[in-house]
Homo-oligomer: A and B are copies of this chain.
Amino acid sequence: MSDHSDAPVAPIEAFEPPYYVAVFSTIRTQEQDGYRETNARMEELVKAVPGFLGMDHAQTPGGLGITVGYFRDADALTQWRTNEEHRAAQRRGRAEWYERYTLHIAKVERSHGYTRE
């Protein structure tokens, strides 16, 4: 999964557990040619995965970016992980765009949302 830059201004809702989160935290390099286009394409692709529920993204200017993808089940994640175009983007990401990243795949046991009245 890649960061994305046109995130909505509200967090994704709390879905009914169980579901999966993919937490992707990144520091990017100075070399960002092609990043934006690839990122937009990855968003398009992940939205087409059956069981994809949505994503949240936050980006500290010059600092850490965190993208959290939400998936209904492990099968949806497997489909996304093994997508060939996604894998090619990951390879390019390691070669050019990312200084460092960490990915955590986790099964949600409990969730909670709050919206001000």
Binding site for B on A (CB under 8 A): 7-14, 20-21, 23, 25-27, 29, 56-61, 63-66, 68, 70, 94, 98-116
Contacts and interface: CB of A to CB of B under 8 A. Distances in A.
Contacts of A58: 25, 58-60, 63-66
Instruction: State the number of copies, please.
Output: 2
A7 B63 CA distance: 9
B111 A104 contact: yes
A113 B109 contact: no
Contacts of A21: 21, 23, 104, 106
A105 B99 contact: no
Contacts of A115: 99-100
A25 B9 contact: no
Given A12-B102, A102-B12, A111-B105, A25 B64 contact: no
A98 B98 CA distance: 32
Contacts of A109: 105-107
